[in-house]
Amino acid sequence: MAFASAQLFDAAFLESLKHLRLVARRVPAGGRFAEQRSVDSGGGIDFKDFRPYAPGDDFRAIDWNIYQRLGKVFLRLYEELEDLPLYLMPDVSRSLFLEEPPRVIAGLRTTLALASISLNHHDKVGVFPFSDEASTLWRPQAGASKVMLLGERLATLEPGGTTDFRQACQYLERLRLRKGLVAIVSDFFDPAGMDAVAHALKTVRHRLLLVQLVRSTDREPTVDGEVRLVDCESGSAHNVSVTPRVRERYINSYDAFQERLAQTARRLGAGLLQIDVEQDIVAQFAKVFEKGAYRVA
């Protein structure tokens, strides 16, 4: 069930992305989540260090003042500011296509919003959707003008299978991408459980931004009475008598899941951002940036 591009990214949303980019632009240097100082010295403007001249070095970097004083040739090193590649991993498992409105809309809009901000800062953006297996939808590339094209590609995504973080993270690692920021947009409902999710995230050598797609009924479901609950991904069914006591235990279990996810994010130094799928995505992002900055780590 692919979405029409116009349906997924309507005019109002695309218009609001401009506002989001403006808001993001006001974030001071060093505040962008996709900006990093490179370990390499280069042609930046901030002085970093000196080192002895070696054959083949750029003569323009020789500090002639030191040569006059010490009679030795040293090179003046400046910090090289590099962009931080953003690797977006939207979850397209079946669970994101359930309910109304489906979470996948919010997930893909979030993906495009993050991509739009990064591309606007000339960062490279790659998109690797996943469910029970991951794939490359958009190879890492820069260019602010490619936002619309990326949007069209996102709209072609079809529902996948179950959510499998282990497979998704292994796929990402196999790509051997330049170190960057991995933004995982998902509900994090992996049938293997939160332990499997945490274990898989540990294998990611990039910085992590976890964007959790939530809705109010996740914590307080509306189901009541005698129900047969069918997991939309695994197809497993469970007959449940939803009593106040059961409902209370459910909430406890959900809260524990949330706590575990937050704990995992803290341990991995990852950012955790909750997006309410029933609210306006851009407005929620704008609120984040209006605070000044959003640092992953």
Partner 1 sequence: MTLTNVSPWGFWMGCAALALMLAVLQWLRTRHRTVHVVTTLFWQEAMEESRARVFWRRFRHPWAYLLALLIAGLTWLAWADPRPEREGAVETVILIDGSAAMMVGDRLAQVREQVMRELRRLPAEHRRVFWVGGQTTLLLDRGEEALLLEARWKGRQAEVAPSGIEQACLALSSEAEARPLQLVVAGNGSLGDDVLTLLPEDVKVLRLVNEEEEAKPSNTGVRALGMAATLGNPETVDVWFEVDAPMSEVQVKVDAKPWTGALNERQPGRVWCEAVPARGGRLEVRLSNGGALSADDVAAIQLPWRQRIRVSVSEDTPLPLRRVLEADDAVEMVDAEADVTVGFTTSDGIPSLVWDETGEAFVFVSEEAQAPESLHALMGLDQIDTVGLAEQSGRVVRLQVETGPTRRAQLWPQLLSQEYHFIQSSAFPLYVGQTLRWLAKVPKVDPYVAAGETHPRLKAAGVPFALPRAGDYEDGLGQLRVAHLSGDPLSSDKGSEPRVTTLSGAIKGGSWATWLILVVLVLLLGEWVLFQNGRMP
Instruction: Using DSSP, state whether 52 is helix, strand or coil.
Output: strand
> Which one of residues 38, 156, 241, 274 is an interface residue with partner 1 (CB under 8 A)?
241
For residue 84, the minimal CB distance to partner 1 (Å) is 32
Tokens of 41: 């010295």
Q: Residue 35 or residue 218: which is nearer to partner 1 going by CB?
A: 218
Residue 239 binds to partner 1 (criterion: CB under 8 A): yes
Residues 6+ apart with CB under 8 A from 127: 87, 88, 89, 90, 111, 115, 136, 137, 138, 150, 153, 154
Q: What is the 3-state secondary structure (H, E, C) of 148-167?
A: HHHHHHHCCCCCCCCCCHHH
C-alpha to C-alpha distance for 52 and 72, rounded to whole angstroms: 8
Which amino acid type is present at position 257? Answer: F
Stretch that binds partner 1, among 55-63, 64-72, 172-180, 247-255 (CB under 8 A): 247-255
Binding span for partner 1 by CB under 8 A among 94-102, 113-121, 134-142, 201-209: 94-102
Query: In the set 82, 99, 276, 280, which binds partner 1 (CB under 8 A)?
Result: 99
Q: Are 262 and 255 in contact (CB under 8 A)?
A: no
The reply on whether position 236 binds partner 1 by CB under 8 A is: yes
Q: Which is nearer to partner 1, 7 or 253 (CB)?
A: 253
How open is the CA angle 279-285-289, to the nearest 5 degrees?
150
Please identify, using beta-carbon distances, which residue of 78 and 250 lies nearer to partner 1: 250
Tell me if 263 contacts partner 1 by CB under 8 A: no
- Is 214 one of the binding residues for partner 1 (CB under 8 A)? no
Q: Report how far residue 32's alpha carbon sits from residue 267's, in angstroms, rounded to the nearest whole number.
A: 21
Site string for partner 1, 30-69 (x = CB under 8 A): ----------------------------------------
Distance CA 187, CA 166 (A): 15
List interacting residues with partner 1 (CB under 8 A).
Answer: 95-96, 98-99, 103, 187, 189, 191, 193, 218, 221, 223, 225-234, 236-250, 252-254, 257
